[in-house]
Structure 1
Amino acid sequence: MTAWTEDELARIGTADELQISPARSGGKPGRATTIWVVPDGDDLYVRAYRGRGGQWFQAATAAHEGRISAGGVTKDVTLAEVDEPALGDRLDAAYRAKYGHYGPDYVDPMVAETARAATLRLLPR
């Protein structure tokens, strides 16, 4: 499996927003959705604030692959679902630290159980 380079981790991990395009049938990237991204160690994570019922999340979990663009980096990725309580706590803290300046109306939904249940690890392909 391919790993993120230090440059990619830094550029994507510090970007304010990420464009995610889950693959459609046939493997071509679908419609892009703007979301938030946080790093944890050598990995990058995204969440669907509307939870598992959100349109882009459903497309992402149907295909488990797509394309992202953030911080000047565009990359094809595998989208892996995660359900690790300790990781969820770390990601909550990362979302609060990175995006806290937007205020609780925006951050609280990203750390709620609905969004935690819709967490994906981005793995470069």
Structure 2
Amino acid sequence: MRTAGWTTDELERLGGAEELRVASLRQDGTQRPYVRVWVVRAGEHLYIRSAYGPENPWFRRAMASGSGRVKAAGLEPAVSFERAGDEVMAAVDAAYHAKYDRYGARIVSTVVGPDTWPLTLRVVPRQE
């Protein structure tokens, strides 16, 4: 069954992965190397955030290209990166807390709260 573009299996596997590898596409269409980031599922969507601000290279490249691939749990789908709307930020924060609080408040604070909201990308499946 497909939900918001993802199948239920894809949402569970990618959203349940400890880390997601993210690679954006260059202007010539070639893929950049993968970078590991935390991923959360909120509702029927997957989200990633830049833990180190808007100048984090992977985040800048994902924003500039808007497309790439993600890799985790035996999956490697083509995706689009879209800015997430304010209406999901509380749910995304809660998902990060639920999944990663075991690492401690100092680490989790890099990906939760109003300062991180503009750094939130929705990961959407894309046809190649």
Give 1:31's aligned residue.
33
Q: Could you say what the CA RMSD is over the residues aligned between the two structures, in angstroms?
A: 1.2
**TM-score between the two structures when normalised by the length of structure 2:** 0.91
Give 2:51's aligned residue.
49
CA distance in 2, matches of 1:97, 1:35: 16
Percent identity, aligned pairs only, is 37
Provide structure 2 residue ranges, at least 5 long, that are not aligned to the other structure: none
CA distance in 2, matches of 1:89, 1:109: 15
Give 1:71's aligned residue.
73
Give 1:119's aligned residue.
120
CA distance in 2, matches of 1:32, 1:118: 18
Which segments of structure 1 move beyond 2 Å, counting only runs of 4 or more? Answer: 112-115
CA distance in 2, matches of 1:75, 1:48: 20
Q: What is the number of equivalent residue pairs in this alignment?
A: 123
CA distance in 2, matches of 1:79, 1:53: 16
Structure with more contact order per residue of length (Cα contacts < 8 Å, sep ≥ 6): 1
Structure having the higher helix fraction is 1
Matches within 5 A, 1:56-95: 56-84=58-86, 86-95=87-96
1:62-118 C-alpha deviation (Å, 9 max, x unpaired)? 10001100111111101001231x311110010000001111121011103332211
CA distance in 2, matches of 1:89, 1:80: 17
CA contact (8 A) 1:50 1:115 kept: no
SS in 1 for 2:77: strand
Provide structure 1 residue ranges, at least 5 long, that are not aligned to the other structure: none
**TM-score between the two structures when normalised by the length of structure 1:** 0.93
